[in-house]
Structure 1
């Protein structure tokens, strides 16, 4: 009878879920609150404190460089966090430990004052910790469920996703106001307080979590098999295929998983360029907004750091529009809505957003002061492109990789975001150092990225039709 009772679906959420959701809202608020003001603050406080017009372009490039390198590190660290949690310490310990360090990083920003060294160190700590948390928290949500209540997973992940966007929407609205009226110390300190609250909330739920113990180092993991395959490229029997040689040491199942990863990576190889453009909305676009007419209606205007709240807002609003209206309408019209077509469409739409931004910058370069409504339109297009690329890629990674590789694929997808920001960061570094890309300032900077994207789209169209498909659903 006990067994029969345990098989009856539960109607309530695990008691640990409110602690996880509350923690996520506070953590995302702290992260996006920081990002909303860090570029405009650094551009003036550290790189152009005298507001010399001759130094504006260089100061902007330095601030953009720091911003993109910050994100590069933040999205590289999920891979490290996943390894630490899955192999050595478990998710609970990793989340709690890095949350404490995360709070300390925010504290460093709030007391840095004019010290660029302390401020930079705080950013490095936050980037490492934000990345370490990112790979563990969403997996920790799934750990709380079993067969008796797995039917509630989609609902709780919906809440989880909404908590991310709630933090991402509210932070850009409130933190810039704190910076304007109370100064940067308070503005950087409040996200730290939110992170401290997130840490306390997570700790309060310690007795309610289901904790999956670390599994130790897996011998048949992605990295060890890949390295072994590379070695076999130059050391195998005459006429023997590489994967056959690898099969002498590793199981057929694990090899199939690795080959699936590389098929998905053939798609993901194009995403860094998408993210190289996308993440500029939290850096380059914010700086552009400082030179625009920020009047929304009548005498009501917003701060330049507040404009990017449009992206998470429309991200939430447009998801049901795409899933419940646009995609079904296209299918009924005889147009197959495949993952690769969604991704390609997302590339085109973000290109349109950047065309708007480039024309806005041309107006600014000519001495004009265009309306912020044009940038808001670009943000709406940006949200649409994110739905088509980001959401689709996460789905593609899940459906096209076997169970043993699904976590690996999620981490590798995040590495694409890291790589995209590294590209943009290196271009800004070259501009700062008066290198080749220093000629691409003002509107030319945005046209450069539009050109890179155009080449990427052409390559994607040529290669995507040749990509083999093998789905792993229901495993």
Structure 2
């Protein structure tokens, strides 16, 4: 543990970042940071959207096996940000983490492009007919494919959590009275710009893959990733680069160990506990909070002669931790129930492969007289359009109008936004089940029960409402959760705060794979189950209703978790501000 700095050093330390912000950082750095993640998202999402078709056609994987591979890939992609955040906050720093991750993503996309370019790295072309068995992919061929997926996941794990936190570092200024509003606006616009990148992936990249083939469709994302890394490194002199702290997870583990070792220790009473807890001299925390009070034993001084050295520092950090370490672990533990409520919504959003097959079987023309068809993989753009539209309306219309009506700044509480998003996610799955029931019924009535490749005479525009609802749900809950984590955590945990939503998606994709296989196995009657390669034979509507029921139960679970959590940091701060305003108004009246 470092020696506690004296008062003069503390003042200098506080002054240094302020001076640095005046010469570095700011809005000038935003295009380079956002462009880096934007190009990465165009590349990675552009690859993902049609990937189930590539696996089924070129690698001859069935729907369930192919979707399971994609679930695991997406799970890894969303889990790796936690590793990237840990390395960034504790060892490498955000800038270096993003640079290394960009290189990994580029290598992964080049390897994936090679699977399309080189015939020998995948099964030979074959048309399955009666009496003909086409060879499946060998272990070495699949290993190369999975290597590409792994490198892309590693890259995403470094870029996604660090870009958001790195961007916030450029704008975060505690001396600015409007700092909270600036960060809220930044989170919203950051997600909106990232969503524009995903929108381009869902339209341009998917269209290229459908019409120009996999070779060009995989090559362009690799070129975009090269450009992303170049732009980010080019602007290196402009960035604010915060120093890393010691290993965050080591500090959290020390709290658990110390609390367990001193589990039988009796904590001091509140009125005489001021000098009974170990803290650094420059720490603002005089004593730990009352919530999760059993963890306070980790920083409680039981015997000064045995716990502290002559310099006032802890002799054994695995027996005595600082109040700051304890509060960091408390912050992480406290948000876990609220974090878990976003998993079901992420499961709902991850059903894109089934929606792709639905769109592929429907009439995708804009009108009966049109010859242009929307690519089946591009329907996800309606989710992104809805997300962007909400961010713009909320930030530029709803909040300003409400503030004008109330005569003071108005903000919708983040917990209300998250809850509303989860309810809309339930509505999205209910609508999805209803539309699929109608689509399947129409297909059977037209004699297409055994022909999944023919087009059902029903407009694919019926799928748009469910995509829009998914976009609104993600705009409310996704952005809300990220803002919630960022404001509730200490700044030293900002990258982990940014990666928690992605971690939820990782868990969601693993659970989605479990649910998918459980539904397929439990619903099988004879040789047919609810989940079949032939979408007209299966009962995808029943599968969607299972997810809808889980989503409704999740809304009730969220209400309980939100109530149990208590007031957020913003609520406490606003209550204090409102209390001070009322006192000032009363003083004015008395005078």
TM-score, normalization by structure 1:
0.84
Aligned mates of 2:193, 2:332 — CA distance in 1: 30
Counterpart of 1:452 (choices 525, 530, 550) is 550
CA shift at 1:219, angstroms? 7.6
Aligned residue number for residue 117 of structure 1: 143
Aligned residue number for residue 425 of structure 2: 350
Larger Rg computed on CA atoms: 2
Aligned residue number for residue 18 of structure 1: 31
Superposition map of 1:68-87 within 5 A: 68-87=71-90
Deviations 1:272-326 (A, max 9, x none): 111111222x332222211122122231321101111111122111223345656
Aligned mates of 2:508, 2:215 — CA distance in 1: 30
Aligned mates of 2:243, 2:355 — CA distance in 1: 43
> Does residue 303 in structure 1 map to residue 389 in structure 2?
no
CA shift at 1:257, angstroms? 3.2
Aligned residue number for residue 207 of structure 2: 177
More moved, 107-116 vs 145-154: 145-154
Superposition map of 1:429-448 within 5 A: 429-430=517-518, 435-436=521-522, 439-441=529-531, 442-448=540-546
Aligned mates of 2:25, 2:502 — CA distance in 1: 32
CA shift at 1:141, angstroms? 2.2
CA shift at 1:149, angstroms? 10
CA contact under 8 A between 2:79 and 2:502: conserved in structure 1? yes
Bigger helix share: 1
More moved, 79-88 vs 211-220: 211-220
Aligned mates of 1:243, 1:135 — CA distance in 2: 28
**Secondary structure, aligned partner of 2:362:** coil
Aligned residue number for residue 349 of structure 2: 278
Aligned mates of 1:460, 1:412 — CA distance in 2: 17
CA shift at 1:437, angstroms? 6.2
**Secondary structure, aligned partner of 2:334:** helix
CA shift at 1:343, angstroms? 2.2
Of the two structures, which has the highest relative contact order with CA contacts closer than 8 Å and spacing of 6 or more? 1
Superposition map of 1:244-263 within 5 A: 244-248=296-300, 249-263=320-334
**Secondary structure, aligned partner of 1:389:** helix
Seen in structure 2, the aligned counterparts of structure 1 residues 309 and 226 have a Cα distance that, compared at 3 Å, is farther
**Secondary structure, aligned partner of 1:409:** helix
Aligned mates of 1:267, 1:296 — CA distance in 2: 41
**Secondary structure, aligned partner of 1:449:** helix
Aligned mates of 2:257, 2:221 — CA distance in 1: 41
**Secondary structure, aligned partner of 1:250:** coil
**Secondary structure, aligned partner of 1:469:** coil
CA contact under 8 A between 1:263 and 1:468: conserved in structure 2? no
CA contact under 8 A between 1:24 and 1:160: conserved in structure 2? no
> Does residue 312 in structure 1 map to residue 384 in structure 2?
yes
**Secondary structure, aligned partner of 1:461:** helix
CA shift at 1:69, angstroms? 1.3
**Secondary structure, aligned partner of 2:247:** coil
Aligned mates of 2:56, 2:508 — CA distance in 1: 22
More moved, 312-321 vs 422-431: 422-431
Aligned residue pairs: how many? 455
Counterpart of 2:226 (choices 196, 201, 204) is 196
Counterpart of 1:372 (choices 460, 476, 479) is 460
- Unaligned runs of 5+ residues in structure 1 are 49-58
Deviations 1:1-42 (A, max 9, x none): xx9x96997899565443323323221211121122112222
- Unaligned runs of 5+ residues in structure 2 are 1-15, 117-121, 123-140, 268-292, 301-319, 444-455, 532-539, 575-591
Aligned mates of 2:256, 2:265 — CA distance in 1: 20
Aligned mates of 2:234, 2:75 — CA distance in 1: 32
Aligned residue number for residue 317 of structure 2: none
Aligned mates of 2:26, 2:419 — CA distance in 1: 38
Seen in structure 2, the aligned counterparts of structure 1 residues 7 and 354 have a Cα distance that, compared at 3 Å, is closer
TM-score, normalization by structure 2:
0.69
More moved, 216-225 vs 263-272: 216-225
Superposition map of 1:333-348 within 5 A: 337-348=412-423
